[in-house]
Amino acid sequence: MCWNIGGATIWSRGWDNISIVIDDIHRLRAHAISNSLFRAATLDAAIKRLGFVQADPIRSPATAQDLILRQRVKGYRVGDLERRYASLDLEEDYLYAYGFLPRANWQLLHPRNTTGLNKLEKKVLDVVREYGDMHPRELEEHCGAERVINAWGGYSKATTRALEDLHHRGLLRVARREKGIRIYAPIPLASETLSPEVRSRKLIMLVTNIFAPAPQKNLQSLRFSRPESCNTRAILDELMQSGKIVRHVVNGNAYLSPAGIEKLQEPQREVRFLAPFDPLVWDRERFELLWDWNYRFEAYTPVSKRVRGYYAMPLLWCNNIIGWANVSVTEGSMNVELGFNGKRPKDSEFKMELQKEMERMKYFLRV
């Protein structure tokens, strides 16, 4: 059976599995933009609304977390998250990438395996529990400065690797950062935790909301931190049948969104420079489906093979990502180089909104 409601076709093989067929890709773009780029809020409220903010150390012109938050936090300036982190109810951990989460979401990632610690890890844990907040350099005084090969083929301090492993297991937390260096603190094991089944459902709802509307096949294959017993495909089916997740079909592709976020506003007529790891552009396949061109992050691409630049940021205009911007600061002056996927808009409104975004970027960078 099928119906037509508000320009969208509702199709069902019974009431337990309903799909919304949206014929207009522009409406899907608007849905994606308004779900992710919500009205600017406080830092705490914005992170809770996002659910997760990816971190990346490259500063070109600022870290990914700062560039993501500047679009969603009123008056945000570079470094605000690091300065205020200790006063917020946040944790650092790995979801589908490394980043910052509200503590309630972080708790869904644990417990992870806390057994089988090696001799050095046990010693490091004992030292941090005894002395409290610990800089990796201070830890060397207690445990030595032995080096080991890291995951990238270079060398890291063995104590730093031990801190990172204990953090991943949920035995230590990042208390704050000093000049970008993580300061670790002990964290007690939780006396009560949610069941793996409940954690799995909540985590799948979380990642669905972050990327909504998310291609169904991409969500089903997404590698994220979850209980070993989690069956993503089965849980997504269950959540769709219960009505907690809605399925959209556009141009033959299925997209999933949490129920209740369909009535969204049209995107504002403004220009935005988005971080390469912004939730709106993170899924490169969805990016290509929505905006019909191929965007790639080229920081690790040889210079001779770069098409758009070392840290090209997607350029959003209204409900279309029309190109990219490379932003740099030299001797106190901000430089912006633009590229376009097609023709550059020539109307005065675009020029005015582009200038506004450049001024916002200057304020953010303290230029």
Task: List Cα–Cα distances, 245 to 16, 219, 224, 253, 341, in angstroms.
Answer: 12, 12, 19, 16, 33
Residue 49 has which token pair? 């609304």
Domains of the chain: 119-186 (1.10.10.10), 271-365 (no CATH)
> Tens-digit pLDDT profile for the chain (367 aa)?
333 333 444 334 433 444 555 458 888 999 999 999 999 999 999 999 999 999 999 999 999 999 999 999 999 999 999 999 999 999 999 999 999 999 999 999 999 988 899 999 999 999 999 999 999 989 888 775 565 444 444 445 888 899 999 999 999 999 999 988 999 999 977 667 899 999 999 999 999 999 999 999 999 999 999 999 999 999 999 999 999 999 989 999 999 999 987 556 677 899 999 999 999 999 999 999 999 999 999 999 999 999 999 999 999 999 999 999 999 999 999 999 999 999 999 999 999 999 999 999 999 999 9
* Strand residues in 13-137 grouped as ranges (E): 18-21, 53-54, 90-94, 98-102
234 membership: H or E segment, kind and range: helix 232-241
* Beta carbons within 8 Å of 195's beta carbon, 6+ residues apart: none
* 3-state SS string for 122-173: HHHHHHHHHHCCECHHHHHHHHCCCEEECCCCCEEEHHHHHHHHHHHCCCEE
